[in-house]
Amino acid sequence: MSNLDLLSVGDANLDVFIVPSESESLCDIDTKKCFIAFSYADKIPVKNLEFAVGGNSANNAVGVKRLGVNVGSVLTLGDDINGIQIIEKLKKENVDLTYIIQQPATLSNFNVVVSYTGERTIFTYHAPRSYEFPVQLPPKLPWMYLTSMGESYRPFYNHITEWLVKNPETKLVFNPGSWQLRGGIKEIGNVMKLSYIVFVNKQEAEKLTGLEAKSEVTKELLMALSGLGPKISVITDGGNGAYVFDGHRFLHCEVLPMDAYERTGAGDAFGSGFLGAVIKGKTIDEALIWGTVNSASVIGYIGAQKGLLKEEDIDTWVERFKSSGVVVTEM
């Protein structure tokens, strides 16, 4: 399709969420690390079970589509039942499927998410595959969102960078995943230089910039991240909120106080809310608010997509944001 506003490029997976009814947490006082403990060699009862489509790229596509952005997905899936379910979910959300490829005799990604006291522990299966670059992408594409892929991502990323160099009118939004971050700036420096917006969390920003870890996000960290290429640098920091540097202003937005039922997809929801606002011509301040309320809505549900806001819900949530006393401030 030639009328797409955005292509979301990356991976997708099928998630099964379980809430164990017999478990406890063990925490180390010195390291402050906590562990979930189950009885060894035993059957563990589960009090809730739910299946959902997830993965950063799929979450982004569904999130921005609900906000009124015309989006397509670029995915390489297996030809198994999980791949079929992923496609059916995206089709139901009216995401364009033109650039989704199902490889014969391969499996799709699958996660088991253990939800415990509002946090999640994830057992993840990343199917080994060779990512296939579409034969032809749409001309004059306004936006592309590039995110996490598995271990064999490099050839695909090389194709993406070559395509972006030939199509400079396309604005790249980059949210690197764990495999991309393992290689550091040496592996993804060329993508960072081509990026218009970059989304990372605080720890990822420190790793990419090489700056010493501090207790809070600083202007120095935002400037260092922007020095790697992006016009707009966005750093999320969990309960401390989100920070943005657009080359002129340093902004911070606190989180909207909410009781978290399950936190899977909170970061992806922030990203799709922020990006959806930018694509629709909103200011950076407004984009921060859209991202914040989208994230707040998602953590009230199991899974990364059920709580994603629709365009008609945004005004109500923005008013809720304003009445809460949370504000966007300059650093």
Answer yes or no: is 158 within a domain.
yes
Answer yes or no: is 26 within a domain.
no
| CA 4 from centroid of its chain's CA atoms | 20
Cα–Cα distance between 113 and 128 in angstroms, integer?
Answer: 20
Q: Is 121 helix (H, G, I), strand (E, B) or coil?
A: strand
Answer yes or no: is 222 within a domain.
yes
Answer yes or no: is 34 within a domain.
no
Answer yes or no: is 27 within a domain.
no
pLDDT of residue 263: 67
pLDDT of residue 131: 92
Residue 61 and residue 143 in contact, taking contact as beta carbons nearer than 8 Å: no
With a threshold of 0.85, does the pTM exceed it? yes
CA atoms within 13 A on the CB side of 51: 8
Answer yes or no: is 29 within a domain.
no
Residues with pLDDT less than 70, the chain? 1-2, 23, 118, 259-265, 301-303
- Structural domain boundaries, residue 61: 6-12+54-107+128-330
Cα–Cα distance between 9 and 7 in angstroms, integer?
Answer: 6
309-315 CB contacts, 8 Å cutoff, 24+ apart: 309/66, 309/67, 309/273, 310/66, 310/67, 311/66, 311/67, 311/68, 314/67, 314/290
Residue 177 and residue 151 in contact, taking contact as beta carbons nearer than 8 Å: no
- Residue whose entry in the numeric block shows the structure tokens 């936190």: 263
Which residues are 14's β-sheet partners?
A: 53, 110
Answer yes or no: is 320 within a domain.
yes
Q: Which amino acid is at 50?
A: E
- Residue whose entry in the numeric block shows the structure tokens 């563990």: 44
Q: Which amino acid is at 202?
A: K
Domain at 256, CATH number: 3.40.1190.20
Cα–Cα distance between 71 and 17 in angstroms, integer?
Answer: 27
Answer yes or no: is 304 within a domain.
yes
Contacts of residue 319, Cβ cutoff 8 Å, sequence gap at least 6: none
- Residue whose entry in the numeric block shows the structure tokens 């606002």: 277
Cα–Cα distance between 304 and 60 in angstroms, integer?
Answer: 10
Q: How many domains does the chain have?
A: 1
Q: Which amino acid is at 176?
A: P
The closest of 98, 134, 109, 68 to 282, measured between CA atoms, is: 68
Eight-state DSSP code of residue 67: T
